[in-house]
Every structure is written in C-alpha cells, then in structure tokens.
C-alpha cells in the first residue's frame, strides 16, 4: 500500500469519525479508482456508505471487499449490518455467523447475531399469526393460535408489527367466544378476590367497561397470577381503546399459561 493511499485512508477514517460522510465517500472512491484490488479500500468505502445510510451502496462495496479478501471478519460484520438495515435478516445472520467462524471472539458479531435471530423468530411468529388470522376458514382454534403467535412475536420483539393486528384478532375471537366456570374453593381470605372477579364479569356483560376494568384490577391486586383474569382484562381494555395495555395483559396471560385458550372467558364459581 502506497504512502499516498495510506494517507487517503487515514483522512477518510477521520472524516467518518467527524460524520463528514460525503467527504469520506469521495476520498474512498478516488482511492478505489487508483487501487481497485485493495480490499481495505472497499471495506472502508462500505463502512462510509453504511454510516451515510446508503445500505445498497454499502453492500456493493463490502461484497467487492470480500471478493478480494474473503477472510476479513470486519467486512463480514459490516455486511451483516448493511443487510440488517435493508431488513434482509437471513443474510445478515449468515454474515454474523461467518464473522464468528473467522473470529470467534469478535466483539460485536455474537450480540448482533443473537438480536438478528430473535428478530427472525419474532417475524416467523408474526407471519404464522397473520396466516391464521386472515384464513378464510379460520375457526376458534385457528384464532386462538393466531392470538398466541402474535403475542409471542411481541414477547420476543416489543416493536413487532403484530401489535397492529391484535385488535382485529380480538374482534374475531369475541364473535366466537365461549364461557367456562372456574371452580374455586373460596376461603374467607379469597372472598374479596372472588367477588372482584364476579363483578368484572358482570360489568363486562353489561358493557360497563370502566367498572369492569376496575374490578379486574382489584382482583389482580389480590391474586396476580390468574391467567383468566389478565385475559378478561385485556378484552375490557380493548373496548376502552387501550390496545397497548391490552397487549400487556395478554402477554402476561401467556407468560402465566403458555397454552391458554383465548377464545374462552372464565367466570369464578364457588365450589
């Protein structure tokens, strides 16, 4: 590498640090024209494009760099970042895996791979949920599973777009919902909890949503580990237009009972 090229690369890196991306890209394109077979030049150009939020150009430059030097872990990791920016998560994950194959202790690739694989898992649950939700032959079992899949997507990635489909899923479930009695041996200490549960159920039946919310919250204040109460509260919150709060209630339902049937609504019965 010539002294002149080293100087250009140093200037380009300094420009990147100062967020002068246009200047860095100009310098590096000149360097690439002078030494098109230099992998380092293409890698730095890819980095500059990535910092400048031009992932397509970054992918082209980093691909060229890796054609010249396939064993460069930094270029593989940067390419993973570029693919991640374009939401091509499968290719991003493959790049991070390759980075770790070359450099198992890479300071960033393992963390990025874990995040990317989580996003892929969240997306899989999301797409499965959508397929069930919008099936022309969806039955109660399908809608129950759709709700679970959408919620699992949110559990894995809180920013999942599955949140936007919960309302429609809830509406379809409401049209098919069934009721079941929850047998409880009501001791003296459980009487206030059972009464709150019954009040919530009664108010919901009368569409007194604010009163139902307060009753179910009182029930959870006394016993917080009842999946069916969190479930009912979620549907009450939907009626109050609070979909984010409903999502949190349903996520809690699933955390307590991963096999919970969202199409069934519980009513406490003394046994």
Task: Count CB-CB contacts under 10 A for residue 227.
Answer: 20
If asked whether residues 126 and 166 sit together in one domain, one would say yes
Q: What is the CATH number of the domain that holds 53?
A: 1.25.40.10
What does the pLDDT read at residue 1? 58
If asked whether residues 231 and 264 sit together in one domain, one would say yes
Residues of the chain with confidence (pLDDT) below 50: none
Structural domain boundaries, residue 158? 118-176
If asked whether residues 266 and 211 sit together in one domain, one would say yes
Total-model pTM: 0.83
* Residue 113, domain member (yes or no): no
* Residue 255, domain member (yes or no): yes
If asked whether residues 89 and 47 sit together in one domain, one would say yes
* Residue 143, domain member (yes or no): yes
Helix (H) or strand (E) holding 1, with range, is none
179 burial (CB, 10 Å; 0-12 / 13-18 / 19+) is exposed
Question: Which one, of 61, 57, 47, lies nearest residue 13 by Cα?
Answer: 47
If asked whether residues 17 and 49 sit together in one domain, one would say yes
What does the pLDDT read at residue 90? 97
What does the pLDDT read at residue 209? 96
Q: Phi first, then psi: what are they for 183, rounded to 5°?
A: -70, 125
Segment 6-56, tens digit of pLDDT = 777 888 888 888 888 898 998 899 889 888 999 999 999 999 999 999 999
Instruction: Report the sign of the C-alpha dihedral through residues 62, 63, 65, 71, in that order.
Output: positive
* Residue 112, domain member (yes or no): no
If asked whether residues 136 and 146 sit together in one domain, one would say yes
What does the pLDDT read at residue 27? 87
Degrees (nearest 5) of the Cα angle 167, 224, 123? 40
* Residue 210, domain member (yes or no): yes
Using the 3D structure, point to which of 176, 193, 213 is the last residue of a domain. Answer: 176
C-alpha to C-alpha distance for 31 and 70, rounded to whole angstroms = 20
What does the pLDDT read at residue 148? 95
Q: How many structural domains comprise the chain?
A: 3
If asked whether residues 159 and 132 sit together in one domain, one would say yes
What does the pLDDT read at residue 177? 84
């Amino acid at each position: 590498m010539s002294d002149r090229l080293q100087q250009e690369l140093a200037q380009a890196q300094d420009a990147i640090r100062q967020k002068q991306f246009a200047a860095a890209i100009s310098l590096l394109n000149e360097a690439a024209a002078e030494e098109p077979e230099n992998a380092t030049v293409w890698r730095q150009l890819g980095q500059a494009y990535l910092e400048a939020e031009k992932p397509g150009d970054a992918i082209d430059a980093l691909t060229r760099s890796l054609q010249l030097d396939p064993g460069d872990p930094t270029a593989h990791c940067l390419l993973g970042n570029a693919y991640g920016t374009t939401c091509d998560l499968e290719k991003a994950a493959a790049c991070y895996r390759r980075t770790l194959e070359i450099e198992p202790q890479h300071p960033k690739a393992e963390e990025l791979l874990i995040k990317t694989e989580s996003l892929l898992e969240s997306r899989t649950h999301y797409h499965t949920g959508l397929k069930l939700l919008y099936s022309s032959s969806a039955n109660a079992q399908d809608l129950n599973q759709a709700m679970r899949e959408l919620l699992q997507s949110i559990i894995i990635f809180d920013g999942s777009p599955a949140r936007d489909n919960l309302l429609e899923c809830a509406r379809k479930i409401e049209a098919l919902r069934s009721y079941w009695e929850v047998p409880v041996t009501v001791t003296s200490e459980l009487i206030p909890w059972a009464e709150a549960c019954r009040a919530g159920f009664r108010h919901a039946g009368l569409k007194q949503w604010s009163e139902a919310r307060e009753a179910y919250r009182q029930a959870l204040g006394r016993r917080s580990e009842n999946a069916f109460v969190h479930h009912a509260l979620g549907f009450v919150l939907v009626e109050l237009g609070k979909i984010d709060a409903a999502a949190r209630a349903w996520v809690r339902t699933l955390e307590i009972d991963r096999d919970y049937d969202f199409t069934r609504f519980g009513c406490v019965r003394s046994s």
